Chain A
Amino acid sequence: MHEFGIALEILKTCREAAAEFRGARISKVRIAVGELTAIEPDLLDSAWEAAIADQPEEGSKLEIEFRPAHQFCPECQAEKPRSEGSWMRLCPDCGMPLMIDGGDELDVLQLEILKEDEDE
């Protein structure tokens, strides 16, 4: 269960990015999680809730974009779909090592901040 540590890193990244907007409150965070990262999106969501409890970010939403891994066989010249839960790296048809594209993302993409106007 390392999702909590990752939630804390995401929170730190968000705070750094929002630091120049003083008095702004983070309301939404959009991240990308690749399917080969061994990160479980539901657990990460729970970990986020725990990380922001009693923090200024409490109530902010974590939006998780799931990024699949694409597998391409250089021999068959074709994309080879992954079956559920399978991590095969060899082509099921010809046995050649597959080229894997994506799936390793664990990125903070976008922040939504709420800024109260100061002079009104």
Chain B
Amino acid sequence: MSETRVLEIRRKALEANEAVARRLREGWENTLVLNLISSPGSGKTTLLEATVSRLREEYRIAVLEGDVETERDADRIRALGVPAHQILTGGACHLEAKLVEKNYREADFGDLDILFIENVGNLICPTSYDLGEDFKVALLSTAEGEDKPFKYPAIFSKAEVSIITKADLLPHLPFDVEAVREQISTLNPSGRILLTSTLSGEGIDQWCDLLREKLGDKRARSA
């Protein structure tokens, strides 16, 4: 004889990830934590190089670099005198909270003002995983084409800040910045949009100001 039983569960499928993310967020009460998401080659590491170069005297900063393979990105940040730790996913297309927690502990950065988590280059998979960050930042380079926000809506609707990178290429590309801004605003009416170029320096001051503002807001809230 066999008997069929029905069990009501009603649990989030990613509950395990979310529990770790909550734990991380509690520990980062005084640290501004950003989760940077984009396609490979949009300029996440290059933007971070420009950012830490400007802010390293002002704040205690560290970077967790997610990649499938190699220490290259962490090396680029360390070359600027800022602590960085490489998270190798060994093929996985995104970071998960457990992986972040393990590597953050290993890295032992000490007290931080700002922690950047650079996700694996991928516009889709990282979107589903909370890493305990304060907010997600989506990057889109002008060379990728102006249709991307509507083609990859999940990330652009969830990212509190969207950054259009490589603005210096605009004279050479059929890329309508206003059309892209409009797409992002349609997906995410309250999101902030920045246009940057690490070569010309355009937008980097605004980006650094935004980080100062967000850190200030967070500290004011937790005080």
Please report A residues at the B interface, Cβ cutoff 8 Å: 1-2, 5-6, 9-10, 12-14, 17-18, 21, 24, 27, 31, 36-39, 87-90, 97, 106-117, 120
A98's nearest neighbour on chain B, judged by CB, is: B189
Q: Are A108 and B3 in contact (CB under 8 A)?
A: no
Given contacts A1-B125, A6-B128, A89-B187, contact A106 B5 (CB under 8 A): no
Report if A12-B16 is in contact (Cβ < 8 Å); known contacts: A97-B190, A114-B2. Answer: yes
Interface-located stretch among B7-15, B24-32, B79-87, B107-115: B7-15
In which size bucket is the chain B interface? 35 or more
Residues in chain B within 8 A of chain A (CB atoms): 1-17, 92-94, 96, 124-125, 127-128, 150, 153-154, 157, 185-190
CA distance A92 to B3 in the complex (A): 52
- Which chain A residue shows the least CB distance to B151? A85
Alpha-carbon gap, A39 to B154, bound state (A): 10
Is B3's CB under 8 angstroms from A36's CB?
no
Question: Given A109-B8, A120-B1, A1 and B15 touching (CB < 8 A)?
Answer: no
Docked CA distance A22–B27 (Å): 38
Most buried by B among A14, A38, A90: A38
Nearest-neighbour CB distance to chain A for B76, whole angstroms, equals: 27
| Least distance between B53 CB and chain A CB atoms (Å) | 33
Q: What's the Cα separation between A85 and B95 when bound, in Å?
A: 26
- Given the complex, which residues of A lie within 8 Å of B154, measured CB to CB? 36-38, 87
Write out the residue numbers on chain A whose beta carbons fall within 8 Å of the beta carbon of B9. Answer: 13-14, 17, 108-111
* A93 CA / B178 CA spacing, docked (Å): 21
Contacts of A12 in B (CB 8 A): 16
Which of B4, B14, B157 is the one whose CB lies under 8 Å from A27? B4
Residue from A5, A36, A107, A110 in contact with B7 in the complex, judged by beta carbons closer than 8 Å:
A110
Chain A residues in 8 Å Cβ range of B17: 9
B5 touches A13 (CB 8 A): no
Contact present for A90 and B128 (CB under 8 Å): no
